Chains A and B, each alone.
Chain A
Amino acid sequence: MKLHSLITLSLAVSVLVTPALAQKSGKDVYGKTCAVCHATGIAGAPKYGNAGDWSPRIAGGTGRLYGSALKGTPKGMPAKGGNPSYSDAEVKAAVDYMLAAVKTAAKPTATPPQNPVAKEEPKPEPKVATSTPKVDKAEPTPTAAAAMAEAVPVGDVNAFNRLLKPLGKRNPPPPEDGIHDPANDGTHALLPPLTAYAGLPKSLAGNRVNWVEAIGTKKINPRWDRTDPKAEPVVMDLNIVREVKGSMPDVVYPHKQHTEWLDCSNCHPAIFVPQKGANAISMAAILLGEKCGVCHGKVAFPVSECRLCHSKKKDLARPAQAAASVAK
């Protein structure tokens, strides 16, 4: 009784408010946004005018339907249909519009075949509705348990070093990688990295794929242009040698390998000023995610691979004076 009066109240409010603020009608909202999924029934959305789809949901109460439409559902309904610019009243009006269509459709076609569907479906529907909050509540416990298990790395000698992953933790499939939700259907449809890496040259860090060799030997052929698969990058073959302090080999920076992936504008002038001596680079800055560290350590090979950059051996017989001036 209370629910009923609430619904009628909210309806009355929406009816009163709608013209006052010149809001979009339920039909407009449906046509612009809801129809994307609800016209065809994409991703399990109840189809517009299909009583079989709607009746179990109507049985759950109009208030719950409003709630699903406003806040979204874990099954795929985005909050407000994915358009937060709609007001609550507009979303509710759209729900009412879709419900009205079901009611008008149900009158002439209140046929026996729909009833069994309606009878079958109420069972899963309330289950889903009631079990979803349960899933949300239950989830933290297993993840917390898993995290605790990871927190005590008993046999992992190198567990302290995040750049050297032990064998069992390399390239797991999405449901096991700790960031994808295994309870999500889409997670299981995603490509496992190892499937994609088959046949690619290996490396010791990062994705454990040598991406530079992979593109150099044409094992992969990533597009340079979004739409044109034949567009070729403008590769610049220019090495920059940076002398470094101490006994560490000097850094040779190859433009070639970088311009095979990147535009000049990705690095110049925001990250590196294109002028000799204008860029103060240190390993500390790199580890903080600046300079080379914008990519290296996040998406390009990490700093554990010292000798890939520090690759030019120093002439150790160099006079001490010269070495000192370089150090300055």
Chain B
Amino acid sequence: MKFSIGMLCAIAVVFTAVPAAAEYADVVLNRRAEKEGMRPVVFPHWFHRIRFQCRVCHAELGFKMRVGSNDVTMNDIADGKFCGACHNGDIAWSPDRCDLCHSGKPGLPTGIVGGHETSGPGRW
């Protein structure tokens, strides 16, 4: 009985921690955003891969392929690094459109959503 209640709690915790419906491979970036008074950033892989091949960001722009390993600041973006290489008002919207990127729910942890690795009991 105790065990089953414990299991239920564990399952409840797991499910509450996971946004169930988020699009596959959406990345939440909240390493700095909320500490500095902004909503977390949501990066949609799907939107970008229709327009650019993986290599553009992951080879040319130097984004490492591991969530949390890219320390992106607004200064970098203004200097044309990372997101700023395209989000400069030339190729994509410029960084003054804060709310388009900083659109995540407050309190979300940094992570990639929707896959098997980051969510639920599949992480052993």
> Which residues from A are CB-within-8-Å of B100?
186, 189-190
CB under 8 Å from chain A, chain B span 7-64: 11-12, 15-16, 18-26, 28, 36-39, 42, 44-47, 49-56, 58-61
Residue of B nearest to A79 (CB): B37
Q: A226-B61, A261-B53, A293-B117 are in contact. Are A71 and B21 (CB under 8 A)?
A: no
Is A139 located at the chain interface by the 8 A CB criterion? yes
Q: Across the two chains, which residue of chain B brings its CB closest to A288?
A: B117
Give B101 Cβ to nearest chain A Cβ, in Å. 8
Q: Given the interface contacts A78-B37, A191-B47, A294-B65, does A169 sit within 8 Å of B20 by beta carbon?
A: yes
Counted as pairs of residues, one from A and one from B, with CB atoms less than 8 Å apart, the total is: 207
A73 contacts which chain B residues (CB < 8 A)? 37
CA distance A287 to B44 in the complex (A): 22
Known: A169-B21, A181-B104. A36 touches B99 (CB 8 A): no
Interface residues on A, range: 35 or more
Contacts of A207 in B (CB 8 A): 23-25, 46
Within 8 A of B (CB), among A157-211: 162-163, 165, 169-172, 174, 176-181, 184-187, 189-191, 193, 196, 205-209, 211
Contact A287 B116 (CB under 8 A): yes
Pick the contact of B53: A72, A185, A223 (CB < 8 A): A223
By a CB distance below 8 angstroms, the chain B residues around A178 are 19-22, 105
We find that the number of chain B residues with CB closer than 8 angstroms to chain A is 67
Question: What residues on A are CB-neighbors of B97 within 8 Å?
Answer: 43, 186
Please give me the residue from chain B that is nearest to A81 by CB atom.
B74
> Would you call A298 and B115 a contact (CB within 8 A)?
yes
Q: Mask for B92-124, Cβ within 8 A of A = 1, else 0? A: 000011111111111110001111111110101
- B73 → chain A closest CB, angstroms: 8
Residue of B nearest to A260 (CB): B53
Q: Give bound CA distance, A207 to B75, whole Å.
A: 32
Do B98 and A151 touch (CB < 8 A)? no
- Tell me the smallest distance from the CB of B98 to a CB of chain A, in Å: 5
Contact between B99 and A297, CB atoms less than 8 A apart:
no
Q: How far is the CB of A207 from chain B (nearest CB, A)?
A: 5
When the two chains form the complex, which single residue of A140, A174, A302 contacts B115, counting CB atoms closer than 8 Å? Answer: A302
Residues on B with beta carbons closer than 8 Å to the beta carbon of A224: 53, 55-56
Contact indicator A233/B116 (Cβ below 8 Å)? no
B112 and A298: CB pair below 8 A?
yes
A254 at the B interface (CB under 8 A): no
Residue in B36, B46, B60, B98 whose CB lies within 8 Å of A193: B46
Pairwise interchain contact B99-A176, C-beta atoms closer than 8 A: no
From residue 31 to 52 of chain A, which have CB atoms closer than 8 A to chain B? 36-37, 42-43
Pick from B44, B61, B91, B96: contact of A43, CB under 8 Å: B96
Given contacts A147-B15, A179-B22, A266-B54, contact A43 B103 (CB under 8 A): no
Tell me which residues across on chain B come within 8 A of A223, comparing CB atoms: 51-53, 56
Chain A proximity of B96: nearest CB distance (Å): 5
- B99 pairs with A150, CB closer than 8 A: no
A72 and B36 form a contact (CB under 8 A): yes
List the 5 closest pairs (A to B, CB-CB), nearest first.
A186-B99, A72-B37, A178-B19, A79-B37, A299-B25
What are 11 residue pairs bridging A and B, where the CB atoms are less than 8 Å apart in the complex?
A: A72-B36, A82-B78, A162-B116, A171-B23, A179-B19, A222-B51, A262-B55, A262-B58, A288-B117, A302-B116, A304-B116
- Apart from the given pairs A294-B66, A298-B25, 10 other A-B contacts in the complex at a CB distance below 8 Å: A79-B37, A148-B16, A163-B116, A178-B21, A179-B104, A180-B42, A193-B46, A209-B46, A266-B59, A288-B117
